[in-house]
Amino acid sequence: MSLTIKNLSFFYEQQAILEQLDLSLPAASISAIIGHSGQGKTTLLRCIAGLEKPTNGTIHWQNNLLNTKSKCIPSWKRNMSMVFQDLALWPHIKVKEHLQLILKYNQNREVINPTAIDEILSTFEIEAMSHRYPAQLSQGQQQRLAIARAVISNPALLILDEPFSSLDERMTFKCWNYLLKWQDSVQSSILYVTHDLKHTIEQTSHIFNMENGKLRQQEQ
């Protein structure tokens, strides 16, 4: 279940956001991309998730070619989940219903324990808010809901774009601890973005620096 990207470019109005980018990640790995704002990190994640179509290049995932110039496998067929910087919560759906809806339409729902919703709401300390709408949550609570929604379906690849920016140190540690146990149990991969090397975790096997739409692997 490795991820391989070759010669990937993405142009927006003739401006190169990603330029001839290569990336190779092994299965069941935890990897980080670091870099300042505006370097192309989010665009790369969106291309991997199927939310943007690259201008050139290829993305292979789980031995499948995800994109060519003529076609692009849609995001819902990629067995991936993404936590967006802006969270993209559904404003008209309550907290618990966010997770129930994911399980309802998840192709692998038969292998998910029905108690998983209550467990993750409790772990992320939002069980008392289960009947509230996103607008009734704090920013940190919204961020924890977005992470819970992404992980509840047991994706083969979990993509996290600045996932803990609104969380304090205690809650960040608790969420990471849950995700690491989850990743180890299901052998999924995690790819996350952060602004600074100091915010990476020690379990990260691959760290890449992104600058001007290009990647360079960080020596560890």
Q: Which band of pLDDT confidence, cut at 50, 70 and 90, is reported for residue 115? A: confident
pLDDT for 110 beyond 80: no
Give which of 77, 151, 61, 160 is closest to 112, Cα–Cα: 151
C-alpha–C-alpha distance, residues 45 and 52, integer Å: 9
Q: Which residue has the higher pLDDT, 71 or 17?
A: 17
Fold of the domain built from segment(s) 3-89+148-217: Rossmann fold (3.40.50)
Sketch the domain layout of the chain as residue ranges.
3-89+148-217
In this prediction, residue 199 carries a pLDDT of 78
What pTM did the predictor assign? 0.92
In this prediction, residue 113 carries a pLDDT of 62
C-alpha–C-alpha distance, residues 207 and 142, integer Å: 27
pLDDT digits (tens, 9 = 90+) for 18-63: 999 999 999 999 999 998 888 999 999 999 999 999 999 999 998 8
Summary mean pLDDT of the chain: 89
Contacts of 191 (CB under 8 A, 6+ apart): 3, 25, 31, 32, 33, 45, 48, 157, 158, 159, 160
